[in-house]
Structure 1
């Protein structure tokens, strides 16, 4: 039986990966020490999700409360399972622009050093395994903000005849832009993954995600756009819109669709690849458009405030062009559109309230 090792296994993409690969019959080794609660407070803790995974899968899911920066413990774990590890899905991260600026050392060591520890452990103990890294569109910094954007009634948009109208592809430069410290630490990790693929001939890929979302997201003020927005709409907690008149656009991909993309790569891996992956033109929205859908689904009005001060380096408009990935893996298709995603998040949050 192949072993799938997943970092950040109680988080959004990590737990979706657990479900996906456990249902295929694989043994799952999960690594998660709930740093999310350290970053964003107790309300963002993923312990509830860890407990649910353990209850659901029993011995098929083995959880390890390890910090990915701890080289000795990580290498000990990899050595224990050795070449039985067929796939590493690395989702653990410090994911927030704003938090990174408050503690640059922790941000960088988690995102960059932690990735290096995992890559080197893979090279030492299971070099034939597939290594998938959950990167981010923030590696492009604020370069997308210099596109010729047009302000419409509910969103910023780009002209239909522009080369990036379909979405931003991997040709966009990651240089000479403001990334935020979070973006810089993810760039370092992204490049490391590419280098281990190209230099050591390992089966590695960086998936540069748009907004990753889904029902298992422990949304918080500083991270988890749609999940936190729905939470605020349901609970009456005030939401703050930062700049751009609430018309900033994001493409949103359901956690299932992303992990399904991982699965397709795992079946036919390449070495040192980079893929932009997100909701593309299939699933995207502005802040104002997302608010309208949340209010419709919940039957409640969102209480929100607005500040002209946008987050430094934040994107005004970002839609992913997933054409490269689809050209390599044409059998992969989306299951969820934007409304499907928000319905799923809404139902999950209501269910959690009932359970508690």
Structure 2
């Protein structure tokens, strides 16, 4: 039996990864205690994803409602399957920049200490497996805001002569800057994943994601920008833009493109403790004002939004990922979804569901 362990298995990336590997015949051990509902309330509940996986794959999907902060329970799972585990995809996290400041201890314990529990269980019981961690571009703190940016009509853009014009590379500094507490806890986990790979010679990988999106996300105001924006347009919910004139740019990558990148690593693990930036890159990026235009065009509805001039602390003004390093190591991988396709899918697949829940 080949086992894939997926933390946050009912979340956006976790559920996409679970279904992908279940469809390939693997046994998936899902670890998810629905903390997203605790963080953001009922609208962020991911239990529907868990139910879907359990009903569609009753034999091969085994769910554990375990908190990754619980060292003993995490170790028990790994001890049971040991070398049957071939892949660990770690997506469980406290994911919000804003929420972290309300409870820094919980944020750090989940993101950093929870990751340490998983790494140590992996090292002790399943060291031949591949360990992939969904990190974040927030590990770079506010360094991207020091780039030479120019204000355009609906977005900020970087100087076309700058080395990062085609995207921010992995050599950007992560030290001596303002991160947000969320950025710090994720950076701590990121460095732990690297260290376990380099020190113990294990196949560990950090994917520093941009905006991860897709129709399966339970988007809320504090997390899940594209999904939540589309929901606001469709359900006539007021939306608030915070700072930077709404021209701040995000690169957006679909969950399926993330999973295909993870699978490339799993099929051909080349390095130990490697880091890749992973986002939409130049193929799929958008400002908030541009995203509003797209959402209104797709839905045929107008968004009610307000503007607050106070930006979120440490918020990126312009962030586009360079995909060059990943594509060099895995030349067969490429982005399949651009921002238009992502938003159209969110609209199409959630139109009926969202109306039923309001």
TM-score if structure 2 supplies the norm length? 0.98
* 1:314 pairs with 2:308: no
Per the TM alignment, residue 58 of structure 1 is displaced from its structure 2 partner at its CA by 1.2
- Which residue of 2 is the match for residue 301 of structure 1? 302
1:300-353 residue CA offsets vs partner (Å, 9 max, x unmatched): 101111100000000000000010000000001111111110011111211423
* 1:189 pairs with 2:189: yes
1:37-96 residue CA offsets vs partner (Å, 9 max, x unmatched): 110111101011111111111121111100000000000111111110000000000011
Per the TM alignment, residue 354 of structure 1 is displaced from its structure 2 partner at its CA by 6.1
Per the TM alignment, residue 20 of structure 1 is displaced from its structure 2 partner at its CA by 1.1
Contact kept, 8 Å, 2:130 with 2:266, in 1: the verdict is yes
CA–CA distance in structure 2, aligned partners of residues 155 and 299 of structure 1 = 23
Structure 2 gap segments, 5+ residues each: none
* 1:13 pairs with 2:6: no
**Equivalent residue runs for 1:208-287 within 5 Å:** 208-269=208-269, 270-287=271-288
Residue 89 of structure 1: SS of its match in structure 2?
Answer: strand
Residue 317 of structure 1: SS of its match in structure 2?
Answer: coil
- Which residue of 2 is the match for residue 117 of structure 1? 117
Q: Which runs of 4+ in 1 moved over 3 A?
A: 353-356
**Equivalent residue runs for 1:1-356 within 5 Å:** 1-269=1-269, 270-353=271-354
Aligned length: 356
More divergent stretch after superposition (305-314 vs 48-57)? 48-57
CA-based RMSD of the aligned residues comes to: 0.8
Per the TM alignment, residue 207 of structure 1 is displaced from its structure 2 partner at its CA by 0.3
1:287-307 residue CA offsets vs partner (Å, 9 max, x unmatched): 000000101111110111110
TM-score if structure 1 supplies the norm length? 0.99
More divergent stretch after superposition (229-238 vs 51-60)? 51-60
CA–CA distance in structure 2, aligned partners of residues 99 and 353 of structure 1 = 24
CA–CA distance in structure 1, aligned partners of residues 297 and 227 of structure 2 = 15
CA–CA distance in structure 2, aligned partners of residues 192 and 348 of structure 1 = 37
CA–CA distance in structure 1, aligned partners of residues 186 and 284 of structure 2 = 24
**CA, structure 1 residues 354+221, in 2 after alignment: closer, same or farther (shift >3 Å)?**
closer
Structure 1 gap segments, 5+ residues each: none
